[in-house]
Structure 1
C-alpha cells in the first residue's frame, strides 16, 4: 500500500461508520488550487460548496483517501490502495456495514471489449422483505462503461463519459475479478464491444460522470446519480463505492495525462 498516511487511514476505517453518510445526487470534482497538495474536492452541484475531500498522499500514482468532510482533517470514510505485482490493481476499503463487523474490501477491476473500457466492482446492497424493510443484504456486481450516449449528454461536459450500470444476473461473471490494469481482457474487434452492449442494453443505468473540458482546476469532472441510484434504495455502501470508483477511474486516466 505504501505511505504512513495511507496505512493509518485504512486502520481508522475499522472504527468508521456508514451511518449518516449522505451524498448529493449531483456533484462536481475539483482540484486543490495549489496542485502541490494533490487533493480533490467533491462539491455539491446545487451550491458549489465542498462536501467531501479526496487526498492523494503519495501523488497521482498512489493511494486515494476519501475524508468525511470538506478538508483532509476530517476522518477517513473510504480508501483505495494499489495491489498486484504491477501495483495497478485497486482495492477499496469501506467502513463496516454495521458496528462490530469487519471493514468491507472490494476490488475495482478493469477489462476491455474492443474500443470499450469497463471497470467493475461488487458490493452488498439491501434486500427488502415484503413489508419493505431492509431484512438482509446480497452482493451484486456493477460496472462503469465508457459511453457517448444520451446518459451523459445532460452533464454539459465532453461528449463522452461513463455510465454505471447493474450487471444482470445472466451476465454475471467473476472471471475478471482479480485482474490488474495491465492484465486486461482484450478483444481486438469492435464487434465484440457492440455485441456486449447489445446484451446489456436493458441494464439499468444508476450513475453517470464525464470529464470537464481541459485541465480545469475548478471543475475536473461532474457526477450524477440517476434512476434508482438516486433514490437511496441501494444503500450507503453502494453509493459510497459508486463515488469512490468514479474518482479512482478518473485518477487512473489522469496518470496517463500527467506523465
Structure 2
C-alpha cells in the first residue's frame, strides 16, 4: 500500500465489496479476555443474515493498526498489517458539510458507513458520534447519536466521557464510558507503548477491586472499574503506521455487541484525529 497507484488500484478493485468475516488466527487477544465463560445472551442477526457479536466474532479483529497511505492523503486504513486492510477511514476539514471523520465497513471509502465523528458545533468542543442503523437488524433499526465530552486541554490531559447504547438484542442498554490517559499495563501491552488512552466502563467493577498498578489485574483501573479498550500512537520507526487499537474485557467477549465495539473504535479514532490536528496546529505556529 506504499505505492499510491497500487493503493488506487486496490480501492478500485474492492469498491462495494464487503470484507470477508474475520477469522481468529492466533491468541493475541487471550491476555485481554476476562476470566470465566463468555456472557450468555441472544445474538442478533447481522445485515448479511449471519450471527455476529463484537470482538473476536465481529466485523473486525480485537487488535487493529491504523495506517496512512504514502503521499498527501486524508484516507487511512485499519488492519492487522499494512497489506491486509479491513476498514477505511477518511478525514474531512470542519469547513465542509461532511463529518470530520468517517469510518467505512470495508477497505475503501466506497463501502457502507460504520460510524462518523464530528464537532458538535463551532462553539463547543464536544464531539458528535453517529452510528447508522443496520438494515435488517431489529435492535439496530435506528441510528444512534453519542455526545463525547472533549476537554479543551492539550494532549495527555483531561478525559473524554460519553454514554452509549451497547449490548445485543434484548440486552441492549445505555452505559457510561470514559477515555482516560494512561501509562498503565493495558497501554504498555500495545507493543511497548508507554503512553496512550484506556476506555473505562463506568458502570462495571472488577473482581480484584482495583488498587495499586503493581498489584491489580490487567484490565482493571485503580478505582476498580473495567477497561474495555486501549489505543496508543505509533511507537515504531514505521512511516505509515499511525496508531494501535485493542479491544479488551467485555468488548472482547461480545457483551457490548457490534455497536459497542464500533463505539470503542470510532471514539478512539476521534481522539487520535483531535490530537493530530492539535499537533499540526502547534507545529505550524
**How do 1:244-259 and structure 2 match up within 5 A?**
244-259=266-281
TM-score (norm 2): 0.64
TM-fit CA distance, 1:85: 3.6
Kept after mapping to 1: 8 A contact 2:125/2:152: no
Structure 1 residues 48 and 26: CA distance shift in structure 2, 3 A = farther
Residue in 1 that maps onto 2:167: 126
Q: Distance in 2 between matches of 1:83 and 1:165?
A: 23
Q: Distance in 1 between matches of 2:240 and 2:223?
A: 34
Return 5+ residue gaps in structure 1 as ranges: 1-15, 128-133, 171-198
Kept after mapping to 1: 8 A contact 2:125/2:150: no
Structure 1 residues 102 and 27: CA distance shift in structure 2, 3 A = same
Q: Distance in 2 between matches of 1:91 and 1:234?
A: 20
1:189-229 Cα distance to aligned partner (Å, 9 max, x none): xxxxxxxxxx9620001111111138954211111111222
TM-fit CA distance, 1:251: 0.3
1:225 lines up with 2:260 in the alignment: no
Q: Distance in 1 between matches of 2:180 and 2:84?
A: 28
Q: After TM superposition, what 4+ stretches of structure 1 lie above 4 angstroms from structure 2?
A: 16-21, 59-62
Return 5+ residue gaps in structure 2 as ranges: 1-45, 53-57, 206-220
TM-score (norm 1): 0.70
Residue in 2 that maps onto 1:105: 145
Residue in 1 that maps onto 2:101: 64
Structure 1 residues 48 and 22: CA distance shift in structure 2, 3 A = same
**How do 1:1-80 and structure 2 match up within 5 A?**
22-34=59-71, 36-45=72-81, 48-58=83-93, 63-80=100-117
Structure 1 residues 17 and 244: CA distance shift in structure 2, 3 A = farther
Residue in 2 that maps onto 1:202: 224
Structure 1 residues 220 and 23: CA distance shift in structure 2, 3 A = same
Kept after mapping to 2: 8 A contact 1:67/1:77: yes
TM-fit CA distance, 1:156: 2.1
Q: Distance in 2 between matches of 1:79 and 1:217?
A: 26
Q: Distance in 2 between matches of 1:96 and 1:78?
A: 10
My pick for the range that moved more, 55-64 or 24-33, is 55-64
Structure 1 residues 247 and 144: CA distance shift in structure 2, 3 A = same
Residue in 2 that maps onto 1:95: 132
Determine which structure has the larger strand proportion and give its number. Answer: 1
Structure 1 residues 89 and 208: CA distance shift in structure 2, 3 A = same
1:73-124 Cα distance to aligned partner (Å, 9 max, x none): 21222111222242633111112264583311111112489x7421112111
